[in-house]
Structure 1
């Protein structure tokens, strides 16, 4: 059975979408005639500051936003709604992943991780979800990690933030279900992104390759498109990429 998705007229906000999974999704939305609005602090596929705020490129619009700044998020979302009239989908993917043992952790790294990975999700949901509730339509996706339940040496801040995000998303899902707004969670597994490479030593990368396996950002796009679509009559659910099921490409065209 072949699956296809049509995003004509749809507006999807993707935080942390300049690179990795978010960038792959933004391009996929644009190819399907939708508009992907990327909130990020870096330019596409680079580590340099995002210089051209709001410059469109073939269906993808980049807006320089630090998601840990609530006022900046509210302002950016307001501008998107003013420009396009609506936001149909929200993918909250912005995250950082510093590594340090708990006893050596810099308090500033701990605080920054929670501000981006947790507060950033809360602020963008507070900004976007009310207009979805008013329209009685919308899909929200947040990212978690297997580390949220298992932990991982050196990743306490990241793991804690992802555990908190999971609980937050399930709570939000329960609160807005009656308004026909869906909130779901994706645990993409180990994906070969810039963040993954910077957070993991070569030995760690070999460990992941030999256990869960390492996927590509495009592997996650199909499931994300599914959850954004009206075919996904589910909320408060979690899709997880596990080795037993191989690549998360069941919804590829």
Structure 2
């Protein structure tokens, strides 16, 4: 059985969408008929995405900057009239022993991975509540539960997101807005490769296997769709194999 999604007329915003899972989702959502706005801090990656599909817009955004986030979301709503789906994918994963990490680096990880989701949520949720419709997605990680050497800051931010999304989702459920999490598992993205070189990559490759960004698109499209009635939930790809053609 194959799933088919019709996103005609929907407006979907994806932060951190110039690479990896966000990029794969942007192309799939545009292919399903959605108008997609990809926001990212990487101008080179945004440039490579620009022109892939006429339904994809790109803009530079630092999600750790609350004022910039609110300006960007408001501008998107003015241009398109609404936001139906918000996917908060912007994240960083520097690797360092926590006792050797500079305070500024710790704070930067939380500012991007946690605060960035909170700012995007706060900026978009009012319009969704008013329309009684919308879906917001964020990404957690298996590391939130199991931890990993030199990943304390990243794991802590992803664990905090679980508490935030589960609480926020229950706050707005009565308004018809859905707020969910996906823990995509080990996916071969530029960020994954930067954070897992050498022995770590070999370890992941030999255990759970390393999937492709396209392996995560199906669950994300489902959660964005009206068929997904769940909220305050976490879909976790704990142990999986790559999607087969």
TM-score above 0.5: yes
Q: Which residue of 1 is the match for residue 175 of structure 2? A: 179
2:148 to 116, 133, 152: 152
Q: Is residue 246 from structure 1 mapped to residue 234 from structure 2 by the alignment?
A: no
Map 1:198-217 → 2, pairs under 5 A: 198-217=194-213
**What does the per-residue CA deviation read over 1:194-229, in whole Å, with 9 as the maximum and x for residues that have no partner?**
000001121100100111210000000011000000
Q: 1:15 is matched with which residue?
A: 15
Is structure 2 residue 24 aligned with structure 1 residue 3? no
Q: Secondary structure at the match of 1:141?
A: strand
Query: Paired residue for 1:28?
Result: 28
Q: Match for residue 110 of structure 1?
A: 106
Picking from 86, 95, 100, the partner of 1:99 is 95
| TM-aligned CA distance change 1:223 to 1:105, over 3 Å | same
Could you tell me which residue of structure 1 aligns to residue 226 of structure 2?
Answer: 230
Aligned equivalents of 1:190 and 1:216: distance in 2? 9
- Structure 2 unaligned spans of 5+: none
1:65 equivalent in alignment to 2:61: yes
What's the CA shift for 1:238? 1.0
Cα contact 1:148–1:163 (8 A) shared by 2: yes
- Tell me how large the CA RMSD over aligned residues is: 1.8
Task: Determine if the alignment matches structure 1 residue 221 to structure 2 residue 217.
Answer: yes
Unaligned runs of 5+ in 1: none
Question: Could you tell me how far apart the structure 2 residues matched to 1:164 and 1:172 are?
Answer: 12
Secondary structure at the residue paired with 2:58? strand
> 1: CA distance between counterparts of 2:161 and 2:52?
30
For 1:137, which of 95, 109, 133 is the aligned residue? 133
Task: After the TM superposition, list the runs of 4 or more consecutive aligned residues in structure 1 that deviate by more than 3 angstroms.
Answer: 54-57
Q: Deviations over 1:158-184 (max 9, x none)?
A: 000000111100010010000010011
1:192 aligned partner: 188
1:69 and 1:55 map into 2 onto residues whose CA distance is 27
Q: Tell me how far apart the structure 1 counterparts of residues 225 and 106 of structure 2 sit (CA, whole Å).
A: 35
Q: Could you give the per-residue CA deviations for residues 70-102 of structure 1, whole angstroms, max 9, x where no partner exists? A: 000000001000000000001001000000011
1:226-250 Cα shifts (integer Å, max 9, x gaps): 000011111111111122x434x5x
Of 89-98 and 232-241, deviating more is 232-241
In the alignment, what sits opposite 1:37?
37
Q: Under a length normalisation based on structure 2, what TM-score does the superposition of the two structures give?
A: 0.95
What is the distance in 2 between the residues matched to 1:115 and 1:29? 28
